[in-house]
Each structure stands twice: as structure tokens, then as C-alpha cells.
Structure 1
Amino acid sequence: MVKKRRKKTVNRKVTVQTQINQPKKLNIGHFFFSLGILLVILFTIADPNHLNGSKGAFLLVLGAVVGFLDVEKKESPYFLLAALGLIIASAAPVHVIGFLNIGIYLRAALLNTAIFLSLAVVMVSLKIIYRIYLESK
């Protein structure tokens, strides 16, 4: 005699939230982040062997604006982890890759990205410390 197996049914409630006729919120921080990444790419392609002080300072200021405006509370740990990974990767000796000078461009791109993200990481870290201070009161 063969026993039939019964299938277990699981009741799951699914809630769907829709945004009908709600205008999209314009986030100026996303604009500055996109501008910063675009400038990192342009500075890397234009001259991979040199980044003058004014370009570096501009990337730093953009990074500070991104860190202050763009990163919200729930995104902060992910942003910090990803940014620190990129900053650590910028110390890798990728300039030794000699094939079509890819190493030089890769090193310049990573260093420019590290410059852009360094002040953003500082701003997000300060915001987290300030939130912890406010919650501890």
C-alpha cells in the first residue's frame, strides 16, 4: 500500500506598496554622486599620470557634499563598507600591469575614486557618530 504525501500549504501574506501619481523626489545628492563619478572617469582618461591640486580639491568637495546629502541612515553601513573597500583597493599595486597601460589607468581610476570617496566616508561617519550621540541621551 502506497501512502500519498500531502503537500503542506503555507499561507503567506504579501503586501505591495505602489506609488501611483506620486512625483519622484529629486535628490540633489544623487546628482552630485553621478557628477563625481563622471569627473573621476574624465580625470582618469584625460591624464592618468597626473592629478593636479585643483581637480583633487574639487573631487574632495564633491565627496563631502555626497556624504552629507546623499547617504541616508539605512544606507550608511553599506556605503561605508563599499567605500572603504574601494579606498583599500586603491593601495593595490595595479600599476605593474603592463598590457596596453591598463595598470596605469586602473591605478589612476582607483586613486581618483579614493580621493572622491574619502571625505564622503568622513561625513557619513560623523553623521553616524552624531546619531549615536543623540540616541544615547
Structure 2
Amino acid sequence: MQAFRRGRRRRWAPPTGPPRVRDRFGPGARVSQRLHPPILRTLGMHKKISLGPWSTPVFRLLAGARRLRGTPFDLFGYARVRWVERDANHGLAVTIAGLPDEVRGYEQVRLDNVTRYRQRLNDLRLELKRSHPVSTP
């Protein structure tokens, strides 16, 4: 379940509380999250699973564990997808870091190189943003 607020992507938003659900949909209404964790895809399961109200504490625990992202304790960071993603972003970062070396020459040659540098920097920034959107906790 993804929620969008002020242009920032969040991993999970708590469901509206049961009283609000009952008021809107009636006394027999139930709240559930439907998701498809990558581990299930790895195990060959290709359908989403429904998680009932019991899953809310689990999601709160995962939301609190976001402080572990990027540390050795980030269990989800060991997935192959994350390694490939980091390698791709590392290559882009190295390319961006090397761009100032292209600004050489005197007067008009240097000004032309600065124009090319700025254009290439903007292109690489867009590519980096597309390949790895920034998510804020």
C-alpha cells in the first residue's frame, strides 16, 4: 500500500481506524492491506496476499526500523535488487564526480566546456533521480 502526500512517496500509511470504516461502510466492514512482498515472488507466489488488522503492529515496527536503512542491520538491503541498484547508482555518482575534469581550456573554449558540463550534469542528475527516487521517512 502506498500513500502519496506532498509529492513524497511513503512506504506505508496506516489504514483509517475501524470506527471511521464502520461509519462509512457499515458494521460488517473490514480493513486489510493487499501486498506482494518480493520474497513471495522469489518463492514462486504470483498473487498478492491480504493482511488483516493483526498486521498493523508489524507495519509500525517496519516503519520504526527505517532508521536501520543503509546499515549492516538493514535486512532488506541484502536483496539482489538492492545490490544491483547500488552498483548502478555508484557508477552514475562516479561519472558525476568526474565531470569537473572536463572543464578545461581558456576563454571561449572554457565557456563552451562549462556549457557542456552543465548540460551533462543536468542529464545525469535526471537519470539518477529516475533510477533511484528519493524516499523520505
> What's the TM-score, normalizing by structure 1?
0.29
Higher strand share: 2
Higher helix share: 1
**Higher relative contact order structure (alpha carbons within 8 Å, sequence separation ≥ 6):** 1
